[in-house]
Chains A and B, each alone.
Chain A
Amino acid sequence: ILNVEQSPQSLHVQEGDSTNFTCSFPSSNFYALHWYRWETAKSPEALFVMTLNGDEKKKGRISATLNTKEGYSYLYIKGSQPEDSATYLCAQGESGGYQKVTFGTGTKLQVIP
């Protein structure tokens, strides 16, 4: 079983602050790194997928980077807003026939107005 780890487990930030969290993953069998946003009482929804070392993706105030050589990805939120409050999940997709995707335990973000 792959070990995909996220830190911190949770954090509280003030509205307007920028923040970032980390996803670390084993480099073996790496194929893709996904970020999902999961709001309370809803289902996870995809934010980004990245495959190449050095990839950067951006969607509005949220961006992500990928380092496959050292096995980590960062998610950044600029100028946090209360509607950014959610759990952010990362998931590693593996190469090979099983196409397995392993999720981390998530970082729960609370943005305080």
Chain B
Amino acid sequence: EAQVTQNPRYLITVTGKKLTVTCSQNMNHEYMSWYRQDPGLGLRQIYYSMNVEVTDKGDVPEGYKVSRKEKRNFPLILESPSPNQTSLYFCASRPSGSYYEQYFGPGTRLTVT
């Protein structure tokens, strides 16, 4: 089954404790992206990757890191989480080209206290 998986689905952590949210897709998509969703603000892009070893900042990259060592994986790293990073996070993938629909993972609900 074609899918995007994320782990964990829910996470409660404390300020400053490094964490990683994993994302994996099995559709051989070149393009992968991370979004955060906050009430009233819609989906905002954090980072994206157009292919292996090619990543770039989206609209709200501060406080986040990513890596793309393999085509299928695109982890999101919070080196020192803060309460303003409490949010719902989605990973998405698609073939190369903004014409193509994005396939979204199930979401990760993160709470930073």
Contacts and interface: CB of A to CB of B under 8 A. Distances in A.
Given A89-B43, A104-B42, A105-B42, A99 B98 contact: yes
Given A31-B98, A51-B99, A43 B40 contact: no
A101 B98 CA distance: 6
B42 A43 contact: no
Nearest to B90: A43
Contacts, number: 54
Contacts of B31: 99
Most chain B CB atoms below 10 A, which of A42, A44, A46, A98: A44
B106 interface: yes
B81 interface: no
A50 to B, nearest CB: 10
Interface of A: 1, 31-32, 34, 36, 42-46, 49, 51, 89, 93-95, 98-106
